[in-house]
Amino acid sequence: MQQDTRNGGLTQSEVDERLSEYGPNLLPEVRRAGLIDIFARQFANPLIYLLIVAGVLSLAIGDRLDAVFIFGVLTTNALVGSYQEYKADAGARALRNLVPQVARVVRNGAVQEISAAEIVPGDIVELESGMKVTADVRLVDAHGLRIDESSLTGESMPVLKDANLLLDAETVAGDRLTMAHAGTVVVEGRGKGIAVETGAATLLAGIGSMLSDTARNAAETPLVRKMAKLARRIAVGTVGLILVLAALLALQGDGWRELLLLAIALAVAAIPEGLPIAVTVALSAAASRMAQRNVIVRSLPAVEGLGSCTLIATDKTGTLTLNRLTVNRVVLADGTSVERQQWLDGMMRDGLGEIGRAAAICNEAHLTDTGSPVGDAVDIALLDLAHETGNEPEQLLGIERLAIMPYEPAARFAAVEARSPEGSRLVVKGAPETVLAMCAECPEDALNIAEKIASEGYRVLVLADANSASAAGPIHDRLHGLRLLGFVGLSDPLRLGVVEAVARCLQAGISVRMITGDHPTTALAIARQLGLDAEAANVVTGSELARLDPESDAFTHAVSEAEVFARIEPAQKLAIVKALQRSDHIVAVTGDGVNDGPALHAADIGVAMGKGGTDVARAASDLVIADDNFATILAGIEEGRVTFLNVRKIVIFMLATGLAEILMFIGALAFGLPMPLTPVQLLWLNIVTNGLQDVTLGFGKGEGDELQKAPRRKLATLVDHEAIILMLPGTIVMTAAAVWIMADHLAAGDSVDEARNTVLFIVVLFQNAFLLTVRNLHMPFWRWHPPENGWLFAGLSTALVLHIVAQHVPLTQTMLGISPVGAEVVAQGLGAALLVLFSTEAAKWWLARRRSAPVTGTLPMA
């Protein structure tokens, strides 16, 4: 790319030529799926295929009512799914917004302000405090230029740029001191450089392309994968059952109409039509509860997915920390060490007054009209120290400055000479090895003190001063014989409650890995503060990972063994997440910056910070933490586990009642009886009475011990051996009672319609009883308090009342072929329902004893 720009900048003809060659300075857009495509995708499901076939067959044989019911369910599910998917990620659009609209360039020998889209490679770009960088710029001049790259590299502190350095081509983004990248912000100083990359070629756009390359459907979470697996099994089983029974009936000489009716009835009975809606309601209820706990849900399946995560890969800057430098420790010249809380509590405040005054004098920040400090993060932190130690920053900043030596990277110190009542006071701040050499007297272990503070995760500055009757020559001639005031340790403080949250995550069996752009020593110190069991051997740097193939076993092993990842670039963060997923982890990624976007998007669950986070992070995430507090993620995990339990109850309820309906048909055919229920009666059960009850299971608030259990692994299923044990007793009782009642009423002289009316009423009571017992999968139904889920009792009552009303309304009597039942039938139904209730409770009791039994050396069931 051409960079031989003259001092006067490009001419207009050169600009036009390069704009034509390289295009405008805009990030590429990602094409979003249209509404029609989104709606069509909702039908890509084996259960949906079966229901479509059942609906078509119903039309073919003239049963229009059945067809209306079936296609109505399909349409409702598709509309709900389309609405959720339409809120798809807009990561590339958010990235575009990070590039500002205006830039300052030198063209035709004059400074001009132009639209950022018009910048071309070779343009001379001017930068100053407060500007956003508009392209990737190779600096040719920099005066105290500090750029905030935290959203791009994860580095918590503004980076001081140096245009005169010579760097290797492989230098990582966080160490490119000669470059200013698009999307970053100038916080201090001035600079000038040549635009070397624009638009799609910038580092920012590279992150955007990774976001696009890792694009996935936001709904591909563990829950959705389990539901898809369950759907395939149900579809295969239903088709196989229909084919076997149809063949048997064909051998008996039944006609094609009877075969089609059987196929439709079995399809309707086997397929839990209301399952997608019930699960959606459960997820929506959880999303509402999570919103009350500051967790905003962008993708409903992510609610459950967060609860199943086995590992959280978290960004440090702005997620675990406040992204704000603070002085947390001061060590005075006599070796006295003072922690921040001590001077905030009033202890040692007088002893720190002098070093606090010095921190405000040697300071380039200033106060706004509202009293808020503006300037370099270090200077702002030092002003806070001055205020916290009993000084008045505004007064100290107002003292006349006689001479100033700004901070220079090569010098590694800054000095200010200010007027004082005695004459003048010279204050110097800077790196320990630089300033200590200027002091007349220092403790022998002064450098060790500084090293010890640094090893605990602090950035260390040394303050020193000298008083004189008057200014006596240039400052640089008097930088000797200074009096050591002390050491200042600055850090980006941890968020309130984050240590406790990490501890509870570990208690819940969830690993926590920290990914940051910080220096390895700082990263390790922060990890230890968080309570992570990390040693130097557990810290892996970006340069170490860069030497490995991201797809290799060695890379996966290095990632799986690490607790802390330091100096990580965006592409490496994405590779880390993929490696953790290959290690059979369900990975939740938290972050707030542009650099977090690809990893958030590729993770099983992406969790972004809502306040301090960038648009990119929020757009790439499944969940957003509204209060920017890592601790809030724990609430999301708890709600996620509750949600999985609720969905599990819904699946158990629907499969058990659906299986009972199928077995009724098999039992009836085995005994030579007519079909116990018609297809439209089955739809009434599955959509109206059953549907009103299973949905209410989604409003459960949990059983209280969700965070004391280990997370479910990726292979955990909704229907395991315990679920089958819970389902079978009630299912068998429902089946046997229904077939017996059908046969008994036919033998007593009732018509087929009358017998079916009785069976339908009793099945409604079966569902009521089974709902009561599965509302809690561990405790007996009589020990769980109704207020825990008032919706459940409302749904149960409504389903029963609705069916009784339907028995007395002429329209529903005609549609469903039903009528009021007598006291004898009610008594039969109540007795059978109690059998369902207590047989399931017996299964729960047996499972509880089995779980509490001591292990005798045999392996547990998978």
Domain co-membership, 514 together with 398: no
Instruction: Decide which of 425, 460, 491 is a domain's last residue.
Output: 491
CATH of residue 508's domain is 3.40.50.1000
**DSSP class of residue 566?**
E
What per-residue confidence (pLDDT) applies to 308?
78
Q: What is the mean pLDDT of residues 584-603?
A: 79
Q: Which has more confidence, 120 or 858? A: 120
Domain co-membership, 735 together with 844: yes
Query: Does residue 851 register a pLDDT over 90?
Result: no
Q: Which has more confidence, 808 or 405? A: 808
Q: What is the mean pLDDT of residues 46-59?
A: 75
CATH of residue 804's domain is 1.20.1110.10
pLDDT tens, residue by residue, 208-235 = 555 444 444 434 455 666 666 776 777 7
Q: What is the mean pLDDT of residues 377-402?
A: 89
Query: Does residue 676 register a pLDDT over 90?
Result: no
CATH of residue 121's domain is 2.70.150.10
Task: Judge whether 779 lies within some domain.
Answer: yes
Query: Does residue 35 register a pLDDT over 80?
Result: no
Q: Is 467 left (phi over 0), alpha (psi -120 to 50) or beta?
A: beta
What per-residue confidence (pLDDT) applies to 301?
67
Q: What is the mean pLDDT of residues 18-25?
A: 90
311 has which bridge partners?
A: 511, 587
Write down the mean pLDDT value for the chain.
Answer: 80
Question: Do 505 and 532 touch, CB atoms closer than 8 A?
Answer: no
What per-residue confidence (pLDDT) applies to 655?
84
What per-residue confidence (pLDDT) applies to 124?
93
What per-residue confidence (pLDDT) applies to 33?
61
Domain co-membership, 285 together with 256: no
Instruction: Decide which of 491, 516, 539 is a domain's last residue.
Output: 491
CATH of residue 408's domain is 3.40.1110.10
pLDDT tens, residue by residue, 296-337 = 777 666 776 777 788 999 888 777 887 678 899 999 998 899
Length of the chain: 862
What per-residue confidence (pLDDT) applies to 540?
92
Question: Do 199 and 155 touch, CB atoms closer than 8 A?
Answer: no
Q: Which has more confidence, 556 or 708? A: 556
Domain co-membership, 183 together with 242: no
Domain co-membership, 340 together with 438: yes
Task: Judge whether 6 lies within some domain.
Answer: no
* Sole residue written with tokens 């819904």: 650
What per-residue confidence (pLDDT) applies to 355?
95
SS3 breakdown of the chain: % helix, strand, coil, rounded to 5? 50, 15, 30
State which residues form the domain around 654.
274-294+636-852
Domain co-membership, 265 together with 278: no
What per-residue confidence (pLDDT) applies to 862?
30
Task: Judge whether 748 lies within some domain.
Answer: yes
Question: Do 296 and 624 touch, CB atoms closer than 8 A?
Answer: yes
Domain co-membership, 533 together with 603: yes
Judged by average pLDDT, the poorest of 158-172, 458-472, 707-721 is 707-721
Domain co-membership, 23 together with 171: yes
Q: Into how many domains does the chain fold?
A: 5
Q: Which has more confidence, 215 or 184? A: 184
Task: Judge whether 721 lies within some domain.
Answer: yes
What predicted TM-score, i.e. pTM, was given to this entire model? 0.61
Domain co-membership, 813 together with 665: yes
- Torsion angle, alpha carbons of 346, 351, 355, 360, to 10: 40
Task: Judge whether 861 lies within some domain.
Answer: no
Instruction: Decide which of 602, 628, 654 is a domain's last residue.
Output: 628
What per-residue confidence (pLDDT) applies to 538?
84
Task: Judge whether 828 lies within some domain.
Answer: yes
Task: Provide CB contacts within 8 A for 191, sequence distance 6+.
Answer: 126, 127, 128, 139, 141, 142, 143, 145, 161, 163, 180
What is d(CA 218, CA 207) in angstroms, rounded to the nearest whole number?
A: 19
Judged by average pLDDT, the poorest of 111-120, 136-145, 205-214, 232-241 is 205-214
Domain co-membership, 231 together with 370: no
What per-residue confidence (pLDDT) applies to 209?
53
Sign of CA dihedral 631, 635, 641, 647: negative
- Read out DSSP for 56-109? HHHHHTT-HHHHHHHHHHHHHHHHHHHHHHHT---HHHHHHHHS-SEEEEEETT
Domain co-membership, 699 together with 761: yes
pLDDT tens, residue by residue, 61-111 = 777 766 776 687 678 767 766 664 554 334 334 434 444 467 889 898 877
Task: Judge whether 104 lies within some domain.
Answer: yes
Is 615 part of the annotated catalytic residue set?
Answer: no
Give how far the C-alpha of residue 160 lies from the chain's centroid of Cα atoms, to the nearest Å. 32
Give how far the C-alpha of residue 63 lies from the chain's centroid of Cα atoms, to the nearest Å. 47
β-strand 326-332 against 337-339: which pairing, if any? Answer: antiparallel
pLDDT band at 465 (very low <50, low <70, confident <90, very high): very high
pLDDT tens, residue by residue, 748-793 = 989 999 999 999 999 999 988 998 888 888 778 776 655 567 788 8
What per-residue confidence (pLDDT) applies to 519?
67
Domain co-membership, 561 together with 615: yes
Query: Which helix (H) or strand (E) covers residue 774, if one does?
Result: helix 752-774
403 has which bridge partners?
A: 417
Q: Which of 148, 315, 596, 604 is catalytic?
A: 315
Task: Judge whether 803 lies within some domain.
Answer: yes
What per-residue confidence (pLDDT) applies to 356?
94
Question: Do 326 and 340 touch, CB atoms closer than 8 A?
Answer: yes
CB neighbour class for 410 (10 Å; exposed up to 12, middle 13-18, buried from 19): exposed
408 has which bridge partners?
A: 413
Q: What is the mean pLDDT of residues 599-617?
A: 74
β-strand 623-625 against 511-515: which pairing, if any? Answer: unpaired
Q: Which has more confidence, 269 or 650? A: 650
C-alpha distances (whole Å) from 632 to each of 42, 307, 349 are 32, 13, 35
Q: What is the mean pLDDT of residues 835-859?
A: 74
What is d(CA 446, CA 443) in angstroms, rounded to the nearest whole number?
A: 5
**DSSP class of residue 118?**
G
